[in-house]
Amino acid sequence: MERLQKVLAHAGVASRRHCEELIVEGRVQVNGKVVKELGVKVDPAIDRIMVDGRPIRLEEHVYILLYKPTGVITSLHDPQGRRVVTDLLKGVKERVYPVGRLDYDTSGLLLLTNDGELANRLAHPSHEIDKVYRAWVKGVPAPEKVRKLAAGIMLEDGMTAPGQAKLIKTAPKGNKSLLELIIHEGRNRQVRRMCEAIGHPVLTLERVRLGFLSLEGLRPGEYRPLTSAEVKRLKSAVTIDSKSARKRV
């Protein structure tokens, strides 16, 4: 027997936190009865579980590393009709969800999975998974401004957590420079707002690494499944028992 929200997350419905919201909203039924209380335990092999009137399907867990290009929305649907990241996953039949977000005009490494528990833990800042960005910014930041980026920047939603920042190189004309930032948070447009705050707005932005995962071997728009060793290492980093997970790599 497992908690209902955990079963829903493992079925790829959403993250565990979102699944809890679905339960409280009365959108989940177990054996024909609406369940609104958290903590209810079910047996997914026996109990009939439905979300919004549709039975859940216990999919095998899949883990996808995508090189997201610019001009693509990190979402499953877009009311404006723009391309979304799942449009790029032509060979993936399972319902997968992005782990975190990359802006429409930001490229780089994006994980997608139907393992809601892992997604929720990876996205939580308490696990301090390195998110490494390369940003071409306008002008050349002075050393004290680069140090300020690393120490923390006061934004409208509060001070950013300490990270790392360094100047990689400057364009020959001196009109722009390449910064590398390593952060652990996932605030909306955080890197762009941090650079704007020191007076050097971002021209282009790419996430080049997430933890130990990199974009090596991929071009924009391409993806690959994680290896079994990579999945095990990710779960170890956020203290998830890999033996209890269904996975296909």
Phi, psi (rounded to 5 degrees) for 33: -115, 135
- Residue 89 burial by Cβ neighbours in a 10 Å radius (0-12, 13-18, 19+): middle
Residue 248 has pLDDT above 60, yes or no: no
Task: Give yes or no for a contact between 100 and 186, defined as CB atoms under 8 angstroms apart.
Answer: yes
Q: Is position 103 annotated as part of the catalytic site? A: yes
Across the range 57-64, mean pLDDT stands at: 85
What pTM did the predictor assign? 0.77
* Least confident stretch, 64-78, 95-109, 115-129, 192-206: 115-129
Residue from 103, 105, 130, 241 carrying the catalytic annotation:
103
pLDDT given at position 245 = 43
Percent of the chain scoring above 90 in pLDDT: 68
Sketch out the chain's domains with CATH numbers: 2-55 (3.10.290.10), 61-125+216-248 (3.30.70.580), 130-210 (3.30.70.1560)
pLDDT given at position 68 = 98
Both tokens of 161, joined, read 């957590």
Q: Higher model confidence: residue 246 or residue 96? A: 96
Both tokens of 153, joined, read 């920047």
What residue type is assigned to position 26 of the chain? Answer: G
| Per-residue model confidence as pLDDT tens digits over 193-242 | 999 999 999 999 999 999 999 999 999 999 999 999 999 999 998 875 44
What residue type is assigned to position 6 of the chain? Answer: K
- Furthest-apart CA atoms within the chain: distance in Å: 68
Position 246 confidence tier, pLDDT thresholds 50, 70, 90: very low
| Per-residue model confidence as pLDDT tens digits over 150-191 | 999 999 999 999 999 999 999 999 899 999 999 998 889 999
Across the range 120-128, mean pLDDT stands at: 79
Say how far apart CA 221 and CA 131 lie, in whole Å: 20
